[in-house]
Amino acid sequence: MQDDQEKTTDQFRLLGLSEASLKAVAAKGFKEPTEIQRKCIPALLSGHGNLIGQAQTGTGKTAAFALPIIEMVEREGHGQIPKALVLVPTRELCIQVCDEIKSLAQSRPVRACPIYGGASYNIQLRDLKSGIDIIVGTPGRIQDHLERGTLRLDDVRVCVLDEADEMLDMGFVDDIRNILSQMPQKPQMLCFSATMPEPILKLASEFMGDYELVRTQSTEMTSNLTHQYFYELYEEDKPEALRRTIDMEKDFYGLVFCRTKLQCDEVGMRLISEGYNAEVLHGDLSQTQRELIVHRMRERRISILVATDVAARGIDIPELTHVINYSLPEDPESYIHRIGRTGRAGKEGCAVSFVTPREFRRFSFFQKIARTEVEKRRVPTIDEIIAVKRRILVSDIDALITKAEAGECPDSMYALAKLLGQSHHTTNIIAALLNDKYSRLADPSRYKEITDLYEKKVRQRREHTDRPERKERRQKSTFRKGAKAPAKGGSRKKKANTSRFKG
């Protein structure tokens, strides 16, 4: 273990980090620098060179800019005016990035503060007056403070645009321009984006000048740790498919994406009423409610979060096992963002999409843009789910028996078991207990039948091969009375001849 830790420290030391940063890295449990960290950390430590990084969420990009910024602040000393500004698209991401910076700073005298809409101005004003080194903020609230004169950016040395493509989608371009224009000295800039649309590069050329483009994906825009597959099904079968997908996993822990707030409520309430540990997250909830729900999800007091794209932007929940596209997003960029929430930090995950026949062409387009092939699977059958549940139940009971044999079962329980064994057969005792506690768990009647569309593409291909024969049959049917088919272009010739005669 100590050798592994020394190896990790050595790899980060080669990037130029100080001993204090190396201790922070070891405490966070980082194994080795990611590609984005290897590119960004030395450039930021040198104090020159602008970077645009195309990096998926979960690739360690926060540490890539936080560690060098912390060292820069520590080297130059604490002051009243911030030396670094990190712009993020959402409140949730603002809080997460700021917390990550604080955890990497550890006991060093570096002050970071989140500035976002929906929070108290008084608390933010108090923090700003006390002196902040690093500000993490949303563009709208940063712009408000600049207009009020409560924030100065005169001494900003480093500016980071995190999740820049999402900020563009949310209409923050003008705010970003105004914020950057109020920095007298041109800061070193770092821009992160999961996708690389043309407006990102245009914004970069406008404010960065020369920059280096760092892409952390070679051919695929999605993580190879994320196993992607889809079900083709009818809209009315989606609720049943969702239940089956969840029940196929022993420890399901995931996000379910819906297109609208109404659909989000319908899906979430259905899951809750059926006994699933779920919550709903969308824009109609207050900021306090949203923060509480996300906090409960991170602590695993909730295992299923049903959310809209807008509400889930910027939410970083580690170790998600699944992302389910209950409804497909509007564009491929949103699809990439969604599935990027699992299969992160070296851990595998699954991304499941529910695709109706009418949506198949659009989903194929998403695959083309994301440069990935998504496997088509059959929706799990009722027999498959019951078999999985029984295996899980047997495994859990085996674990309980092992604990009992290790002496973790009190003598009073053994005495009760012997008493029952004197008057009843052991098999009957076990069956009665299982029926009382777990009968609903493995009850096939809980599930509904759905239409299986797995073979649909095969039928379509067969029909396609028969197309010439069907065309010939239609022609025979059209002229079955012996009528002579008109010559190709005959009507046009007749018109042309008539025209010439009249002329």
Amino acid at site 468: P
What angle, 0 to 180 degrees and rounded to 10, lies between the N-to-C axes of helices 139-148 and 173-181? 40
User: Per-residue confidence at 267, pLDDT binned at 50, 70, 90?
Assistant: very high
Residues 143 and 190 both lie in one domain: yes
Tell me whether residue 462 is in a domain.
Answer: no
Tell me whether residue 451 is in a domain.
Answer: no
Residue 52: CB partners within 8 Å, gap ≥ 6? 190, 191, 192, 193, 196, 200, 201, 204, 208, 211, 212, 213, 214
CA distance readout (Å), 474 to 244, 377, 465, 470, 478? 44, 36, 16, 6, 6
What angle, 0 to 180 degrees and rounded to 10, lies between the N-to-C axes of helices 198-207 and 173-181? 10
> What proportion of the chain, given as a percentage, has pLDDT over 90?
31
pLDDT at 380: 94
Question: Strand order in 188-193's β-sheet?
Answer: 112-115, 134-137, 84-87, 158-161, 188-193, 51-54, 212-215
Residues 246 and 110 both lie in one domain: no
- Say whether pLDDT at 210 is over 70: yes
Cα distance between residue 56 and residue 319, in whole Å: 15
- Calculate mean pLDDT across residues 353-368: 91
Average pLDDT, the chain: 82
> Within 10 Å of residue 117's Cβ, how many Cβ atoms?
15
Tell me whether residue 417 is in a domain.
Answer: no
Query: Where does a domain end: 382, 399, 427?
Result: 382
CATH number of 368's domain: 3.40.50.300
Domain count of the fold of the chain? 2
Residues 202 and 238 both lie in one domain: no
Residues 192 and 241 both lie in one domain: no
- Say whether pLDDT at 123 is over 80: yes
Residues 187 and 327 both lie in one domain: no
| Radius of gyration of the chain measured on its C-alpha atoms | 30
DSSP state of 405: I
Residues 191 and 59 both lie in one domain: yes
CA distance readout (Å), 77 to 63, 80, 82, 93, 104? 20, 10, 11, 27, 17
pLDDT digits (tens, 9 = 90+) for 51-85: 888 776 667 888 889 999 999 888 877 777 899 99
Query: Where does a domain end: 333, 357, 382?
Result: 382
Residues 65 and 193 both lie in one domain: yes
Cα distance between residue 313 and residue 163, in whole Å: 9
Q: Which domain holds residue 11?
A: 2-215
Cα distance between residue 294 and residue 292, in whole Å: 6
- Say whether pLDDT at 497 is over 80: no
- Say whether pLDDT at 50 is over 70: yes
pLDDT at 239: 96
pLDDT digits (tens, 9 = 90+) for 155-187: 999 999 988 887 877 778 889 889 988 888 888
Phi, psi of 330, rounded to the nearest 5 degrees: -80, -25
Tell me whether residue 482 is in a domain.
Answer: no
- The answer for 462, left when phi > 0, alpha when psi is -120 to 50, beta otherwise, is alpha
Residues 126 and 245 both lie in one domain: no
Residues 175 and 287 both lie in one domain: no
Tell me whether residue 481 is in a domain.
Answer: no
Residues 248 and 329 both lie in one domain: yes
Q: What angle do CA 209, 93, 89 make, to 5 degrees?
A: 50
Tell me whether residue 327 is in a domain.
Answer: yes
pLDDT digits (tens, 9 = 90+) for 422-441: 888 988 888 888 888 777 77
Residues 165 and 269 both lie in one domain: no
Residues forming beta bridges with residue 54, ordered by sequence position: 193, 215
Contact by Cβ (8 Å): 242, 378: no
Cα distance between residue 385 and residue 383, in whole Å: 5
Tell me whether residue 479 is in a domain.
Answer: no
Query: Exposure of 141 by Cβ count < 10 A (0-12 exposed, 13-18 middle, 19+ buried)?
Result: buried
Residues 210 and 241 both lie in one domain: no
Q: What angle do CA 346, 351, 352 make, to 5 degrees?
A: 160
pTM for the predicted model, two decimal places: 0.63
Query: Where does a domain end: 215, 241, 273?
Result: 215
Tell me whether residue 354 is in a domain.
Answer: yes
- Say whether pLDDT at 304 is over 90: yes
User: Per-residue confidence at 3, pLDDT binned at 50, 70, 90?
Assistant: low
DSSP sequence for 298-320: HTTS-SEEEEEHHHHTT---TT-
